[in-house]
Structure 1
Amino acid sequence: MTPLFIANGNVLDVHTLTMHAGHSVLVEGGRIAAIGAGLQAPEGAEVVDAAGLTVMPGMIDCHVHTVASSFNLGNVARLPNVLTMLRALPIMQAMLGRGFTSVRDAGGADWSLAEAVRTGLISGPRIFPSGKALSQTGGHADFRPRSDELDLCSCVHKLGNIGRVVDGVDACRIAVREEILKGATQIKVMASGGVASPNDPIGNLGYSEDELRAIVEEAGNANTYVMAHAYTPRAISRAVRCGVRTIEHGNLVDRETAELMAAMGAYMVPTMITYEGLANEGEKYGLPALSIAKIEGVRGPGRQALEILANAGVKMGLGSDLLGETHYLQAEELRLRAEVLGNGPVLQQATLIGAEILGHKGELGEVTQGAIADLLLVDGNPLHDIQCLLDQGAQIRAIVKDGRIAKNTL
């Protein structure tokens, strides 16, 4: 691989939230080899002039659904696998174009999509797939309509289904082992009701504690962890006590539950922007009426949840959780959070804390020697104006992923 030399940029240190003016970055073998003010480009290196631009880490979205090409997840679940894959490609390409160089897929994407990106077959962010999210019968990933007779769920076999229905301790153990075997890098579990599914109110719990503990144990046996969809204090505290490492959404969290999360070292991945998309565009694009009716119950408390979590010292990763036609809103999650928490903490959530959640601390989410060279060259200073990271990456002039230029408008 030809060395890459990014010259004379303003390098953002996301640890200290400071800018180092006039620094260059040398990339060799896909990693950052050196950073400094007096560096010289080695002979034969590709040189990019970053004068006046911010050089910052590629961003990490810890909650996406790359195969969710429609609001109506039940319809997506019935698509042929090849069509599901083809509809996912522009979604992934656009994520990378917005500056998200790594994403954690929270249900749907599998090893094949991740491998296609890794090998350069398709363009997109580095994917950490969860495979199929685990749901109890009637839970958040059971999209079968009410009927006199329930058809057998074909969710295990369809790429477009974000989850699989599995019940009982032994069956849950087998399901975890199967998802790991198929290439999941972490396990997703539906620990409460949700918005996009038809028959599970938000306040419902998902799985028994015995089932949750078995899922956590099996993930731990494979040296990975469990992420849990959960909204209410009851669902969140129960999941954390059962060993779940990251909670997804958590809109209704209270102070006591947030303090429990902090004490247990659990992470939260709020997903504020998806509720704006669901509320504003869901009906137009086919979100079922039962789901639309659930939105307001979690949309309003989301901002307050950010404050509660921050005050309790809970580490938060960035997540968007968008569906269908609203994937374009992804970077707006930065803006919504910055309005509550400020630009600096949100940038850390989208980089450093995201890398911790993925298990790649020191490798992703920072511009330091030895880190993987995922870099953004931004026309603007995101510490002062988060807007420069919005607008579909219009002010992100260049994107480097794994040491290779993925976008260059300079």
Structure 2
Amino acid sequence: MCMSCCESIESGIEPINPCLCGAPETQAAMDRIEADLTRRRLLGGMAAVVGMFAGFGLAPTDLRAQTPGRPTLLTNLRFFDGTTLQMQTGRDILVEGGRITGLPATGAGPEDATVIDCGGRAVTPGLIDCHWHATLVGISKLAALTQDIGWVHLMAGREAGATLMRGFTTIRDTGGPVFGLKMAIDQGAVTGPRIFPSGAMLSQTSGHGDFRLLNTLPKTSGDTLDYTESAGVAAIADGRTEVLRKTREQLMQGASQIKIMAGGGVASPYDPLDTTQYTLDEMKAAVEAAADWGTYVCAHVYTPKAIQRCLEAGVRSIEHGQLADDAAIRAMADADAWWSIQPFLADEDANQYSDPAAQAKQQEVAQGTVRAFEAGRAEGVNMAFGTDVLLNPGGAASQGRQLAKLARFMSPLEALHMATGAAGELLALSGERSPYTGALGVIAEGALADILVWDGDPETALDFLDDPENNLRLVMKGGRVFKETL
């Protein structure tokens, strides 16, 4: 307090305070300034975040959502419902609240609906890729093992938007740290497909998911986790106890199904293709833990012996399996298991490998692919489409072309069924662990409104899938329109 103020108080004279810091008027002014600064910081931060995401192509780009209380009616169309192997006419598609609520006769829909005229084009359900790696698809192996994990996730977000724009409205992620990406998409912060996550791929030591370098061996109890383990790409687990622990960790994080490595692979350098990985008891541990949560296990596997062991353990989805013999294929059919199979043909769209050993393994798998499709269909095995584009920055764009290749083995609509209605049945094995409520892969009353409009005729060929930029005219996911060029 100043001397003059003290003298005034002592004399009983009302002081004149030259410092107005505590005055009500000053406090009010300070409150207004602080509120304005807070608002500016908030807006600036929001702009920075949105700008960052927009710069990477991650910002939400849906053109419009449904008007609350007002349905959307797609009309003037021919549609494939995902199940019936023929194009249907004479009906419209009514969408309300993110779901298909009816298939009224043409012209019989509600008068107050927002009408989308499809111009006589082909309409299909949103496509489903049952074997995708959303975090690992668009980057190289070197980048995946060495780059900052934040950059890896940003690249995954960019690729997620491109995936949706190819017409794949749902993917089953069969291994990788995808839980955060899924959450961002579901909350509308990032554009992308629905994701059924597996989390980290479970692998035995020396298995297909063991990416450690030889100079890190032997591992001791005090060693830190390998980068791929700490990042959530893979989880090395040996013995029943560890398999149970790692399975439960993925379920805790939100896995809709569990992925195990049951045999050798092409991309990994230390596990020969003919090896059988995980003992029966270890496999059963994963199956039992998943079943306790109401879901299932899918397994990376190629060889007959390993396939038979998977089926004995209760694995519900065989991933790849191109080297299956007749007995293994019949066993899949008898067990009512699913065969998530990819058109591995060692062609221009195949994952690229510089290692001669990997190239030899790739050729061996490709030689079994044609027979696998033919024999699987002959035995009546449940078959669903997947691509498994992996660590291949230029390969993701081939996703639709990979599906079109299935018309080599079956009719175009049968091939399309594998990526719609059949794939939706496979996803339904997740039961209560499914992240989404409602049928997928079908155009039917009550199904989720994931709908595509194409230039092309699915009854005669699927070549139009190779050019979604020009041929895919409308992308709707959950009733929201993300692309419309009708």
Structure-1-length-normalised TM-score: 0.93
Moved more, 193-202 or 147-156: 147-156
In the TM superposition, 1:7-406 aligns within 5 A as 7-40=75-108, 42=110, 45-69=113-137, 72-73=140-141, 75-147=143-215, 149-150=217-218, 152-159=225-232, 161=233, 163-273=234-344, 275-276=346-347, 282-283=352-353, 287-323=354-390, 324-325=392-393, 326-359=395-428, 363-406=439-482
Structure 2 counterpart SS, 1:51: strand
- Aligned-CA RMSD value: 2.0
Give the residue type in structure 2 aligned to 1:299: A
Give the residue type in structure 2 aligned to 1:49: D
Moved more, 31-40 or 297-306: 31-40
Structure 1 counterpart SS, 2:299: strand
Structure 1 counterpart SS, 2:243: helix
Shift of 1:338: 1.0
Moved more, 385-394 or 2-11: 385-394
Contact 2:139-2:155 at 8 Å conserved across structures: no
Give the residue type in structure 2 aligned to 1:342: S
**CA distance, structure 1, for counterparts of residue 144 and residue 382 of structure 2:** 33
Moved more, 180-189 or 332-341: 332-341
**CA distance, structure 1, for counterparts of residue 349 and residue 410 of structure 2:** 23
Structure 1 residues 69 and 256: alpha-carbon distance in aligned structure 2, compared to 1, 3 A threshold? closer
Tell me the number of residue pairs that the alignment of Structure 1 and Structure 2 aligns. 404
Give the residue type in structure 2 aligned to 1:369: E
Per-residue CA distance 1:42-97 (angstroms, 9 max, x = gap): 45533211121111111110000111146653640343221111111222112111
Give the residue type in structure 2 aligned to 1:203: D
Shift of 1:354: 0.5
**CA distance, structure 1, for counterparts of residue 211 and residue 356 of structure 2:** 14
Unaligned runs of 5+ in 2: 1-65, 220-224, 432-437
Moved more, 86-95 or 139-148: 139-148
Shift of 1:331: 1.4
Contact 1:273-1:333 at 8 Å conserved across structures: no
Contact 2:407-2:461 at 8 Å conserved across structures: no
Structure 2 counterpart SS, 1:13: coil
Structure 2 counterpart SS, 1:128: strand
**CA distance, structure 2, for counterparts of residue 278 and residue 198 of structure 1:** 21
Unaligned runs of 5+ in 1: none
**CA distance, structure 1, for counterparts of residue 103 and residue 483 of structure 2:** 21
Contact 1:186-1:224 at 8 Å conserved across structures: yes
Contact 2:451-2:476 at 8 Å conserved across structures: yes
Structure 1 counterpart SS, 2:420: helix
Shift of 1:368: 0.8
Contact 1:380-1:395 at 8 Å conserved across structures: yes
Moved more, 356-365 or 341-350: 356-365
**CA distance, structure 2, for counterparts of residue 300 and residue 208 of structure 1:** 28
Q: Percent identity?
A: 38
**CA distance, structure 2, for counterparts of residue 217 and residue 363 of structure 1:** 26
Q: Higher Cα Rg: structure 1 or 2?
A: 2
Structure 2 counterpart SS, 1:5: strand
Structure 1 moving runs of 4+ over 6 Å: none
**CA distance, structure 1, for counterparts of residue 139 and residue 275 of structure 2:** 22
Per-residue CA distance 1:351-383 (angstroms, 9 max, x = gap): 111011101797111111111100011112212
**CA distance, structure 2, for counterparts of residue 295 and residue 358 of structure 1:** 28
**CA distance, structure 1, for counterparts of residue 477 and residue 138 of structure 2:** 28
Give the residue type in structure 2 aligned to 1:346: A
Structure 1 counterpart SS, 2:444: coil
